[in-house]
Structure 1
């Protein structure tokens, strides 16, 4: 009874039942009224004889019909068109009233969804439809609409953060370039090789941001080109650790490595981007003198790569925002840690492009964060 079709069938059944009930009630009521009127106009002897026939259950006897034919001509005729029309009108009114009430009950949640959809289209992303006791197809419709509205609201928030992030990250190098170039044009800044190197670094920074944005866009659209081949995930991870060992030494932290991963089918360059971003993030948050644990292992049909630091971890309310493009925690901003906020977002998209995922959690034994990359192992 939860589907719309079942409810409409039930509504049709109720209409038929009401029509039949009204017709039967009217018929027997009219017959009873006909009998009473006829008996009222009959002579006492005939009335007594008719009552005796009814008492003995002889309504189908010839004598009973003879008395009806003789004395019932002046009473109501239940076979005339007016009586039938009255029954039809009564049935339509009663059935129509019930049908309208039931139809309103069936259509009310659908109307609520339509009104909410119009509100969302008008710009109100926070509107939701109360489900109440509604179930079946309409309940599924309400659940789907509420999920859609929540996704749209989340998308709008991410788009706002993304736009603000792009503006902020591009403004700084562009401002530097504009100011220094104006100084060179006005003769206030010497056009030296050192100045050219300084400007080139800003251009390269802009190029990295643009390239990361391009990769994110392609990954979101499912159009990211991957040069997939079977490779040992430990080899890729070990090279990334080696490349960043100098940065770790400069930050006065060290790597604790353990490699036991398997073979994956992926793009070595893109996997390197994932690991480099996670390792760079760990170096940035690790306190002086601490160790960053880098490990790989297999678990069923997956390769598990973990990067564990001993920093401050992240706030529980920030767990859903860690991988948003350009999002940076308040602690990072207060501490003045460098970064564009694209590293984790890019790492997540690249992991998903390989059929895997990245899971972030806080350490349970002490302060610090754990970033776990899960990648499907290559098929034999």
Structure 2
């Protein structure tokens, strides 16, 4: 069953909290009981040592057990009050003192049936309640002068206060664990909500995009790096899709206009010649031929972009002088330079590269045509070549109108054209730079653009010297 990210985060956080709190409580309780048991055992041993020490002190008075029967009895009676049965023997293993059968039976019954014992068993069921019997030698100057036999209940080494302490600690740990778990639940709820809310919003946002709508993603920064980065990426993606949609809408209009104009001219000329209004002449046929070529060039450019983007184009590489190629392209444009009174310079030394000469010619032609198109009369165009780090560079720089900063990163997009209102006197389909980029990338090269709006633009192309 699929779960929401909020539910998944909540379950994971609560599960982790339960494991951590449970492990912490168990370790704490185990360590506490272990150390407390060691403490009780030390206390019990200390109490037994006190009895043996008192008995040994009696013998040390006159180095004999004679005349100490009453005092030994007092020590034994004190032990009975603490539910401990003592039997004292001399060095010859003769019994010196033991409680009466009645006192022994009564002590056993008291240990087994007292309210304290029953209560302790309920509070500490894990503590063994068997009779513990030990024998301790009685010494004087390092020599054994007797022994004492001790009987007690193991559980009775814990007093009622000890048992209550252990029980209260258990209850406290349970309460603390439950409170911590409750706090962890609310904290997990807040975290899950903080993490899931922007993701849900992004999900709804992308659903709107899939329907062709581009709403505004109005979300505050969460402070979580990955989510904020995702939000920024989704916003950029939405803006890019919206721009592409605008480009496609404009493309439909531009392509329709570019095809409609020559078709209208063709239709008018052909109908006039068919109707006999115009005489069929070489000049009119040449005009119709030019319009057909105009449509063919537009379709050819679109096909070329498709080939470049699908990596189906085949490069016919040869070794040639890049400087010589650029000079040939510039020579072809000289009539247009003179017509617009454009001043140009071409600088650099011979630079041999291995590439598709026709494709690089097309790159230079498209870039130079763009520079000529957007450079006003009496402007200047500079072409420069150089070599650096096993790469060939050539730059075409103009003093034209430049590119607005917000459009610099979009000029290489297919069919992208600057705002028509700024370029209403400049024709084009927004295909040339897309072709240029595709050709350069096919050669494993790079193209960069720098532009200052109102002052000019510079295109820098880098190509590997050998491929």
CA deviation after TM superposition for structure 1 residue 69, in Å: 5.2
Q: What does the per-residue CA deviation read over 1:36-60, in whole Å, with 9 as the maximum and x for residues that have no partner?
A: xxxxxxxxxxxxxxxxxxxxxxxxx
CA contact (8 A) 2:398 2:457 kept: yes
Secondary structure of the residue that 1:111 maps to in structure 2? Answer: helix
* Cα distance, 1:287–1:16 mapped onto 2, change above 3 Å: closer
Specify the alignment match of 2:462 in structure 1: 374
Secondary structure of the residue that 1:125 maps to in structure 2? Answer: coil
* Cα distance, 1:16–1:240 mapped onto 2, change above 3 Å: same
Residue 120 (1) aligns with residue 223 (2): no
* Cα distance, 1:317–1:120 mapped onto 2, change above 3 Å: closer
CA contact (8 A) 1:259 1:297 kept: yes
Specify the alignment match of 2:384 in structure 1: 295
CA contact (8 A) 2:391 2:463 kept: yes
Q: What does the per-residue CA deviation read over 1:117-166, in whole Å, with 9 as the maximum and x for residues that have no partner?
A: 32322333345465512235x56655554454444334333333333332
Secondary structure of the residue that 2:311 maps to in structure 1? Answer: coil
Give, in whole Å, the separation in 2 of the partners of 1:123 and 1:89: 55
CA contact (8 A) 1:234 1:262 kept: yes
Specify the alignment match of 1:161 in structure 2: 250
TM-score (norm 2): 0.59
CA deviation after TM superposition for structure 1 residue 277, in Å: 1.0
* Cα distance, 1:100–1:187 mapped onto 2, change above 3 Å: farther
Specify the alignment match of 2:405 in structure 1: 316
CA contact (8 A) 2:407 2:418 kept: no
Specify the alignment match of 2:114 in structure 1: 70
Give, in whole Å, the separation in 2 of the partners of 1:200 and 1:122: 44
CA deviation after TM superposition for structure 1 residue 358, in Å: 2.8
Higher strand fraction (1 or 2):
2
What is the total number of aligned residue pairs between the two structures? 334
Secondary structure of the residue that 2:320 maps to in structure 1? Answer: strand
Give, in whole Å, the separation in 2 of the partners of 1:150 and 1:290: 36
Give, in whole Å, the separation in 1 of the partners of 2:22 and 2:398: 77
Secondary structure of the residue that 2:441 maps to in structure 1? Answer: helix
CA deviation after TM superposition for structure 1 residue 202, in Å: 0.7
CA deviation after TM superposition for structure 1 residue 272, in Å: 0.7
Specify the alignment match of 2:431 in structure 1: 342
Counterpart of 2:224 (choices 109, 134, 141) is 134
* Cα distance, 1:18–1:175 mapped onto 2, change above 3 Å: same
CA deviation after TM superposition for structure 1 residue 234, in Å: 1.3
Specify the alignment match of 2:323 in structure 1: 234
CA deviation after TM superposition for structure 1 residue 7, in Å: 10
CA deviation after TM superposition for structure 1 residue 249, in Å: 2.5
Residue 181 (1) aligns with residue 270 (2): yes
Counterpart of 2:374 (choices 282, 285, 310) is 285
CA deviation after TM superposition for structure 1 residue 253, in Å: 2.6
Counterpart of 1:333 (choices 403, 423, 426) is 423
Give, in whole Å, the separation in 2 of the partners of 1:21 and 1:282: 74
Which sections of structure 2, spanning at least 5 residues, go unmatched?
1-7, 30-81, 85-107, 126-169
Give, in whole Å, the separation in 1 of the partners of 2:280 and 2:25: 101
Q: What does the per-residue CA deviation read over 1:46-78, in whole Å, with 9 as the maximum and x for residues that have no partner?
A: xxxxxxxxxxxxxxx868x96795226589956
Give, in whole Å, the separation in 1 of the partners of 2:459 and 2:318: 25
CA deviation after TM superposition for structure 1 residue 330, in Å: 4.4
Give, in whole Å, the separation in 2 of the partners of 1:234 and 1:215: 25
Secondary structure of the residue that 2:283 maps to in structure 1? Answer: helix
Counterpart of 2:345 (choices 232, 235, 256) is 256
Give, in whole Å, the separation in 1 of the partners of 2:20 and 2:379: 81
Specify the alignment match of 2:19 in structure 1: 16
Instruction: Note the 1:353-364 alignment, pairs <5 A.
Output: 353-362=442-451
CA contact (8 A) 1:23 1:91 kept: no
Q: What does the per-residue CA deviation read over 1:203-256, in whole Å, with 9 as the maximum and x for residues that have no partner?
A: 111111111111112222222222123332112212211222222223333432
Specify the alignment match of 2:138 in structure 1: none
Which sections of structure 1, spanning at least 5 residues, go unmatched?
27-60
Give, in whole Å, the separation in 2 of the partners of 1:169 and 1:68: 109
User: RMSD between aligned alpha carbons?
Assistant: 4.2
Work out which of the two has the higher radius of gyration on C-alpha atoms and give 1 or 2: 2
CA deviation after TM superposition for structure 1 residue 192, in Å: 1.9
Which structure is richer in relative contact order (CA contacts within 8 A, separation 6 or more)?
Answer: 1
Give, in whole Å, the separation in 1 of the partners of 2:176 and 2:444: 67
Give, in whole Å, the separation in 2 of the partners of 1:62 and 1:231: 112
